[in-house]
Amino acid sequence: MAITTDKKPLDSLYKAVSFQIKIDKKPLDSSYEVNKVIAFKEINKLGRARIHILGGDYTTNSFVESESEVFDPGNEVEIKLGYDQKYTLVFQGIILKHSISVKEGYLRKKTRSQLIIECVDKAVVLKNSFTNTIYREKTDNQIMSNLINQVDGLTSAIETTDYEHSVLPKYNISDWDFVLERAKYNGLLVLNSNNKISIKNPSVSSITPEVTLLNGAGTISFEAHLNSTNQFNSIKLQSRDSFNDEVFNKVGSPPDEIVTNETDNAKSISKNTSPSEVEINLPQDVDSNELKVLADSLIKLSRLQRVFGRVKFKGVLDIDLDSVVALSGFGKRFDGNVYVSGLYHEIEEGKIFTEIEFGLEENFFNPKEIFDVNQITKDISGLHIGEVTQINNDPKNQNKIKVVIPVLNDQGDGIWASLTHAYTGDESGAFVIPEVGSQVVVSFIAENLKHPVVLGCLYTSTKKPYTSTEEENNLKAFVTRSKMKIEFNEEEKEISISTPEGNSIVLNENKQEILIEDQNDNQIKTSSSGIELKSKKDIKITSGGSLQLSAQGKVDISSTADLSVKGLNINQEADVGFSAKATANLELNSSGVAVLKGSIIQIN
């Protein structure tokens, strides 16, 4: 059952209305005739206020109220409203805009000539700050706290988030929008009031309402909607681990704490507008734990849009964002405690009015659809330049290399990026890794900053190709750091493999030859003329089995020095004739039997 309170708008009936405005901590001079003051705040928006001051004198052709330095942009502003001189702070911030408005009929009606001072919370600095950076080993609450605490005069209270990002880039997005993005990701709401940012889960459970609003009795207007448009019975997200080729799913859990009464719960009103389970496939890899956080967030934001409404009543100044009010007399679908998501205090002509919003309006976060799987984080499109800083020791063993991407304003040594290859296989493929210091082209899977991919390398003024480009473009080559080369010459129809010391293999189709040379001037050449082996030193041929030499033509074995033939048995046979000559001595010698046979034997 909802907790109620006896406090009602009519409690201020017959009480004198009062207000107090301070600029740079000094009360606004009473000579300024304040016509109207409005303070308005909404969840996920900057707190703002507007002060209307009657001004201008057509009889003297002047507008002295606008000339005062009191109303210069940047001056601090504090606005309090109250009854019987008892004030409640409704706005703190700074002057954002200084305007004058002179409308038709100003000669007859003084209120048509005004100085209008528009004010904004100090958190506006976040809206105008576009920082690019990379967060490592940080939770979302730590990241949001870091951004908010950099603004002077701004305080924060941020609910703890559990998931820790190994790396989370921030790129081309204002600090304010980035805070909203991270809060939405965790199903949290951002409340900006009086130079403070609170980021928390909404709840009406166990909270005493600030006021009970009755149908009548001080209520000026009321509007409410019970909407099944974005109500889902169940939301299941599916992602994958591309490296390990695994698919996993996470189902969003409904929030434990309600933010509106449960007379018509989400499942009952969505039974005819939503399937039993909505399954969404994400185009990028998302960690299993992170996927659960996102699934819970989506179902929670869906529930927040179930009931939305506005109610205006005689001013109650104790209400602020994150307050709870009780509704009574509006029917069972809307009676009960509701969460204040928008707030407007207005004083004009001696009267104070308050208007609140409760629940979240449909598509409150302004996506085209409630689910935009490509907008999990701020997208980054196009191709970007990076520099390789490390090629080994990937902490996740996913064969990634570390790259610094200047556009991200990375103050560290880079982020781990996947590397594309021309061909991959199981313990096979093209294994060519860029050198540290190489300039590379980087893209992002599904335009997600958390998933960079190195597409290739670029030459630079300091890292030039080893040869110039010619119009014919006949030369292709692969050259390593130590100048080992594989070259392809289209004109010569030649492939060469060489080392820096002169070892090479050249296959030339035009010359019809293969040439193998080493740094010692040894050479093997195959051509249409045959095979040539050349060496300035010894040539040794060793076989573990038989060695046979045969030819269709003549076989010559010659030496300018000694010629030695040795074997266990030597068998020489001639089909026609056999001749042995010596210009000096000829000696046949055996330590055993010597046999000389022939049909005719001639000696001398």
pLDDT digits (tens, 9 = 90+) for 392-422: 999 989 999 999 988 777 777 889 999 999 8
- Is the per-residue pLDDT at 504 higher than 90? yes
- Provide the CATH number for the domain formed by 475-534 in this structure: 2.20.220
Q: What is the pLDDT of residues 13-22, one digit of tens each?
A: 768 888 999 9
Give the architecture (CATH level 2) of 9-121+344-354: Beta Barrel (2.40)
pLDDT tens string 58-77: 888 889 899 999 999 999 99
* CB-CB neighbours of 316 under 10 Å: 24
Indicate whether 370 pLDDT > 50: no
Q: With 50 as the cut, is the pLDDT of residue 24 above it?
A: yes
Sheet of strand 494-498: strand arrangement? 475-479, 485-489, 494-498, 504-508, 513-517, 523-527, 530-534
Contact 41, 54 (CB under 8 A): no
More confident residue, 364 or 229: 229
Strands 17-23 and 439-444, by their bridges, are unpaired
φ, ψ of residue 140 in degrees (nearest 5)? -65, -35
Q: Is the pTM of this model over 0.85?
A: no
Average pLDDT estimate for 347-354: 90
Question: What is the distance, to the nearest Å, from the Cα of residue 249 to the centroid of all Cα atoms in its chain?
Answer: 21
**pLDDT tens, 202-223?**
876 656 788 888 998 789 999 9
Task: Tell me how far apart the alpha carbons of residues 268 and 284 are, in angstroms, rounded to a whole number.
Answer: 33
What's residue 225's pLDDT?
Answer: 86
Instruction: Decide if pLDDT at 364 tops 50.
Output: no
Tens-place pLDDT, residues 45-62: 999 999 999 988 888 888
Contact present, 235 and 298 (Cβ < 8 Å): yes
- When the pLDDT of each residue in the chain is averaged and rounded to a whole number, the result is 86
The encoded tokens of residue 385 equal: 């330049």
pLDDT tens, 531-548? 999 998 988 989 999 988
According to the model, what pLDDT value does residue 258 have?
55
Q: In what order do the strands lie in the sheet with 189-192?
A: 155-158, 196-200, 189-192
- In whole angstroms, how far apart are CA 558 and each of 2, 257, 389, 555, 584? 115, 102, 61, 10, 18
pLDDT at 307: 80
Predicted confidence band of residue 272 (pLDDT cuts 50, 70, 90): low
Percent of the chain with pLDDT over 90: 43
Beta-bridged to residue 20, according to DSSP, are 80
pLDDT digits (tens, 9 = 90+) for 444-498: 887 877 889 999 999 998 888 888 889 999 999 999 999 999 999 999 999 999 9
Q: 299 with 253: CB under 8 angstroms?
A: yes
Q: How confident is the model at residue 231 (pLDDT cuts 50, 70, 90)?
A: confident
Question: Strand pairing of 415-419 and 401-404?
Answer: antiparallel
Q: Give the range among 245-259, 500-514, 579-593 with minimum mean pLDDT.
A: 245-259
Of residues 229 and 134, the one with the higher pLDDT is 134
pLDDT at 274: 67
Check residue 1 and give its pLDDT. 44
Which CATH code fits 384-458?
Answer: 2.40.50.230
Domain segments of the chain as ranges: 9-121+344-354, 384-458, 475-534
